[in-house]
Each structure stands twice: as C-alpha cells, then as structure tokens.
Amino acid sequence: MADALGTRWAAAGHDLMVAGRTAGKAQALARKWGGRAGSFKEVAEFGDIALIAVLYQGMATTLAEIGDALHGKPIVDCNNPVEIENFTLVTEPRRSMAQDIEQATGGHVVKAFNLCHARVWQLKPPTFDGRRLVVPYCGSHPGAQEMTRHLIADIGGEPLPIGDLQQAHHLEAMAAIVISLLFGGRDPHTVFNLVDRATVTTNT
C-alpha cells in the first residue's frame, strides 16, 4: 500500500520519506520516489501527514517504535485488522484499529484507502466505466480530514466524507467482506456496485 499510494503521491508532487522494518525495502521505495528512508521516528517527525500501512500482526510493534513522534499530527490509516482464515476483525467489538492508532500515537487519525486492493490505487487515475473511484474516509479532526481529502483527490479519487472516527469500524467491517470476496475469487463489484443501475420494480 505504501508503494501504491506513495508512488501516486510522489507523482503528484509530494516529498516523501519512508520507514519499514526491512530497511532495504524502505530504501528501494525511497529511490523509486526520489525521496528518503529513515527510522520510524525520523519519518514521523519529517511529514506534515503520515500514512501507516502495516499488517495488523506488526501494528503494536510499529506503534511502539513510533512512540509519541506523531502526537498531534494527521495520520492516514489504511489498515485492515482482518484475519484471513474466517475473515473476521481482530479488534475488540465496537472498537476500530483507527481508534487504537489514535490512542497509541496521540495523532489525528483519518481512516481511508482501506476498501480497495493495492492494484486499484496504482491506477492512473482509478476510474471505472468513466466514473471516478469514490473513496470514503472518516476522522474527527477537520485539518486531518482536509489533508486526506487532498490526498484522495491527488490520486484521482472522489473523496467521500462519512463522519467522525466512530465510523472507522464500519469501514473496517466492510473491508472484511471485500477481502473475503477477493480471497473467494468473487468480484466485489457484483455485491457493491449495482445500486445506481438497478431498477426497482414490484409486480404484485
């Protein structure tokens, strides 16, 4: 996800810095973007806004390494806390990973970009049948929401605010369904994208 989104943001003119547990991978991304690699703390301190893109198994370790370096900063959370045996959420009931990240970092978290596969975020731009991809996002801090809105627009998506961070667990639950469809070889479009084309008729 860092590769897919970062590559599009670099192309849109953003200066990027990247960290990861495998330094070589972070350095390769930095070279690709013409940016820099560093430690989690250095990257957190560098940016006006940070994307956290880590598998849920590594989230606690990564957040511990970041410490309070993102305190008060906008954070985009694209993560899906979904295990892929039964496709269920690994978070506490009624609690989202977005809220956990906010609590751990003291940053202003916006949930976004979690519903589509990384390949979709690589599209230049993500349009389907001439229609722009709609990207739902939610957060409780107006400044962080505004910056996220710009980041969505920068990759050619249509930003759709859906409320405060309380809504994040809905986006994470939706992702659990989408991931189960993708792993099952089903096309999520057939589940989610037919509403505006449907003609509702009743014949009694």
Ligand X SMILES: NC(=O)c1ccc[n+]([C@@H]2O[C@H](COP(=O)([O-])OP(=O)(O)OC[C@H]3O[C@@H](n4cnc5c(N)ncnc54)[C@H](OP(=O)(O)O)[C@@H]3O)[C@@H](O)[C@H]2O)c1
Beta strands per DSSP E along the chain = 17-18, 36-37, 50-52, 74-77, 82-83, 88-89, 108-111, 127-128, 131-132, 134-139, 158-161
The least distance separating ligand X from the CB of residue 83, rounded to whole angstroms, comes to 10
Q: How many residues bind ligand X (CB under 6 A)?
A: 19
State whether residue 200 is helix, strand or coil.
Answer: coil
The residue within the footprint of ligand X, chosen from 7, 8, 20, 105 (CB under 6 A), is 20
Residue 58 binds ligand X, judged by CB under 6 A: yes
* Footprint (CB under 6 A) of ligand X, residues 34-53: 53
Q: Which residue number, 72 or 103, has a Cβ lying nearer to ligand X?
A: 103
| Span near ligand X by CB under 6 A; candidates 20-28, 37-45, 87-95, 137-145 | 20-28
How far is residue 171's CA from residue 174's CA, in Å, rounded to a whole number?
5
How far is residue 21's CA from residue 4's CA, in Å, rounded to a whole number?
18
Residue 17 binds ligand X, judged by CB under 6 A: no
The least distance separating ligand X from the CB of residue 54, rounded to whole angstroms, comes to 4
* Footprint (CB under 6 A) of ligand X, residues 111-170: 114, 117-118
Does the bond joining 125 to the residue before it have cis omega, within 30 degrees of 0? yes
How far is residue 92's CA from residue 89's CA, in Å, rounded to a whole number?
8
* Footprint (CB under 6 A) of ligand X, residues 86-105: none
Q: Which residue number, 46 or 143, has a Cβ lying nearer to ligand X?
A: 46
State whether residue 101 is helix, strand or coil.
Answer: helix
State whether residue 35 is helix, strand or coil.
Answer: coil
Q: Which residue number, 47 or 143, has a Cβ lying nearer to ligand X?
A: 47
The least distance separating ligand X from the CB of residue 154, rounded to whole angstroms, comes to 18
Nearest residue to ligand X by CB is 58
State whether residue 41 is helix, strand or coil.
Answer: helix
How far is residue 58's CA from residue 71's CA, in Å, rounded to a whole number?
20
The residue within the footprint of ligand X, chosen from 18, 40, 80, 111 (CB under 6 A), is 80
Return residues touching ligand X (CB under 6 A). Answer: 1, 20-22, 25, 53-58, 61-62, 78-80, 114, 117-118
